[in-house]
Amino acid sequence: MPSPTVLLTILCLILLASCAASEEEPVWKVTQIRDHIYELTTDGGGYAVKVIASVGDDGLLIVDAGQKRTAEDLKTALQTLGYGLPAIIINTHSHIEHTAGNMVFGKAPVIIGHENLRTRLTSGGFLFDEFPEEALPEITFADSLNLFFNGELVRLVAFPGAHDDSDIIVWFTGSKIVCVGALVNGRHFPSVDEKTGDVLKYPEITGRVISLLPEDVTIVPGHGEDCTLADARVFHDMLVKTTEIVRVGLAQGKDAATLQKEDVLADWADFEISYVDRATWIEYLATGLAGEGSPRDTRETLHEPMYYAIKQQGVDAAIKQYHELKASRRDDYKFDEDTLVGIAYKLYTNDKYPEAVKFFELCAGEYPAGKYTALCFNFTGNAYSKMNNRELAIKSYRRALEIAPGDEYATKKLEELDAEKK
């Protein structure tokens, strides 16, 4: 799961992108970047999502599989390459915009990833995605793995612990192409998984990636622009210098808010990307440095009890259990706004609209002045619209506007509903 600030940004981007595009499915752009290597790119909701395809006599191999909602379009785009569906899918790490597309390719592809990947996709928030067995990795590794496919050695090397605990790189050695997920994010700040990542490990791990690669390699990040090894060194330099700036600021008694107000990373403004601006990067670093040497929060998340309660007894039983756990086991479980909105969004994206409504409403009720409150009502309005309940959709969008006057998304949706009535 990304940090709270990044999660909020991504959810807002998804809403605005769907508003601008009337929720049409994104189209994959196909670009040949080497003799038999293709790059497929789509809009993930305000940021690029990439898939790399190797085609040849051995068939089709892809690196990452995009989001579930774009996967059918990905299948169509891949079929234009003339080699059928993938024989192999390699996931660079666990995040859903890289792995959820696994679900649409059936049992045929062999899925490969880090040894932590299977556990990640069957626990925590991923429970709500309900990955079937055929969408989970069949081959996993801890250190490295070599494949010989389409006439070249493909090296898979594990670098877990910075962005996520299942990070690997996929290096097409003959084609001189390497897929790096977010270990090198072009000239952009990366995100860090709140549960399994560690911002303080980024400089060391990225440095090891750079030291492994030859000068003439083309680096393909999961979201940023393709870049050179020289660009990767600039990215690494940013990691080192910004970490030190925030470290010094904290040592002077300043907090993250003060460092953001002072704009101490102004010199790195051009590293901003839609989901991580420099204020968010300061927050990442300040949080990591504040916890340096301290044990991680070992409390359980609410994902597992909520998922199984919904699955076995329904959403009302899950909400009842939430309140019971909050009353009796506050020290055992982590209760926060981000978990609730994350569960609600997972239910929403998996078309479980009545359940999503209940959890968005729970989140808004538990955190009436929270950072997600207006967003909860916007998503509730969307869910009611998908359930053909126009009256409750309008009520939800109006509630969003009460909380956030001038909210662009709610305003647009109300205009659309009014136009439909006329």
> Is pLDDT of 10 > 70?
no
Count of C-beta atoms within a 10 Å radius of residue 143: 10
**124 Cβ partners below 8 Å, 6+ apart?**
1, 195, 301, 303, 304
Which domains occur in the chain, in start order? 4-236 (3.60.15.10), 336-421 (1.25.40.10)
The DSSP output letter for 291 is T
- 262-281: pLDDT as tens digits: 999 999 999 998 889 999 99
C-alpha–C-alpha distance, residues 203 and 206, integer Å:
5
- 54-95: pLDDT as tens digits: 999 999 999 999 998 899 999 999 999 999 999 999 999 999
- 215-242: pLDDT as tens digits: 999 999 999 899 999 999 999 999 999 9
Q: How confident is the model at residue 147 (pLDDT cuts 50, 70, 90)?
A: very high
Name the pTM for this structure.
0.91
> Bridge partners of 60?
55
**What distance separates the 2 farthest-apart alpha carbons in the chain?**
63
Q: What is the average pLDDT across 289-317?
A: 89
The residue to which tokens 């997972």 are assigned: 346
DSSP states of 21-51: HTTPPP--EEEE-SSSEEEEEEESSSSEEEE
The DSSP output letter for 352 is -
In this prediction, what percent of the chain has a pLDDT beyond 70? Answer: 93
C-alpha–C-alpha distance, residues 134 and 131, integer Å:
8
> Is pLDDT of 4 > 80?
no
Q: How confident is the model at residue 377 (pLDDT cuts 50, 70, 90)?
A: very high
Q: How confident is the model at residue 23 (pLDDT cuts 50, 70, 90)?
A: very low
Pair 154, 172: CB distance under 8 Å: yes
